[in-house]
Amino acid sequence: MRMGHDFAPARAAAVHCPELTTRGPRPEETAALMAAWRRDLARLLADDLSGLLSGDRLDVNITEPEKLSGADALRRIGPLAANSLIRCGASGETALLSFDFATAIALTDRSFGGDGRVTGHVPEALPRSAALLVEETATMIAGAITTASFGDMPPPAGLASAGEVIVRSESAARLKPFPLDRETLFFVLEIANRQGSTWRAALAVAAERMARLLPGTGRRARPRGPRTPASGLAAPFGAMPLPLHVVLAEFDLSLARLQSLAPGDTIPLAMGRQVPLMAGETLVGHGAVGTAEDRMAIRLTRIPQSAQPAPSFQPEGVAP
């Protein structure tokens, strides 16, 4: 009798993806991770934003997230605000950061040495100085989110820094930050100084993206291959001339007044304590206007974190 048999499988064996076979964190674990992430982000923002707001000692609080649909989150922000679509971290997650116009102007006033009080006056359009400050603040917040979520993991290919502003708009809906019917987590960032001023911003993140931003939720680390330190000061780019300009003042004129201008007319200017130094549309730094050797000059007082060159050294004992 022949005892050997050849058996053929009736169908291919099932191969399950890791998302189906790996257990995610339990609700109580997710809540603990979220609370730790909020504390870490608040601490980082208190340090990072201090230099932007005249060296204030800041207290930052991030509220527990409110679960809303994407449409409800946009309604909460309103039709007109200083909105930034930011990109954070090694996986390039996006989020929506919004300041109302009154808060953006109050922050700008504080950055120039004013008291930074939020008033009820809301302009129809955001001044250029306030728009630049909002972009710089959003970039810092994107970097802080990246650090709170991923630590010192290097940015992905194509992302020059830890976080960045992708695009800004006064209409949050135009940025299309998340599907309108998807669950969205809505945070309020409360920033206060020791002089009694408080500024608030809204942070809205799609729930599935927030799950990837929380530390310890089973994300796979990106492979860290050998990296060659690069410097923007190296040839051939280091010798390229870049035209810079200083914005001394901005003002509004009616069309009728503009058409009636004639030689000899006087237009009063209100110059701030600090003026922005620009390369095209990019903010390079802030400085105070004065003189040097009988010539008008600007003394730099602050350089945005995103404009500072990255270090090109490798710490001793740490493999690239």
Output the pLDDT for position 16. Answer: 59
CATH T-level assignment (fold) for domain 26-213: Chemotaxis protein chec (3.40.1550)
Is the pLDDT reported for residue 288 higher than 90? no
Q: What pLDDT digit, counting tens, does each position of 140-166 carry?
A: 999 999 999 888 655 555 544 578 999
Contact partners, residue 93, CB within 8 Å, separation at least 6: 87, 205, 209, 212, 213
Output the pLDDT for position 223. Answer: 42
Band of the pLDDT at 237, cuts 50, 70, 90?
low
Is the pLDDT reported for residue 180 higher than 70? yes
Q: What pLDDT digit, counting tens, does each position of 47-75 carry?
A: 999 988 888 999 999 999 999 999 999 99
**Residue 56, token pair as written in the block:** 């204030």
Nearest to 108 by CA among 86, 88, 127, 125: 127
Output the pLDDT for position 318. Answer: 42
Please state the separation of Cα 242 from the chain's center in Å.
25
Which stretches of 251-293 are DSSP H helices? 255-259
Band of the pLDDT at 185, cuts 50, 70, 90?
very high
What's the mean pLDDT in 25-54?
90
Nearest to 144 by CA among 72, 54, 207, 51: 51
pTM for this entry = 0.62
What's the mean pLDDT in 184-197?
95
What is the overall mean pLDDT for the chain?
Answer: 81
Q: Is the dihedral of CA 139, 127, 98, 172 positive or negative?
A: negative
**Residue 63, token pair as written in the block:** 């509220």
What's the mean pLDDT in 160-188?
90
Higher pLDDT, 215 or 84: 84
Q: What are the boundaries of each domain within the chain?
A: 26-213, 272-304
Band of the pLDDT at 224, cuts 50, 70, 90?
very low
What's the mean pLDDT in 188-216?
93
What's the mean pLDDT in 260-272?
83
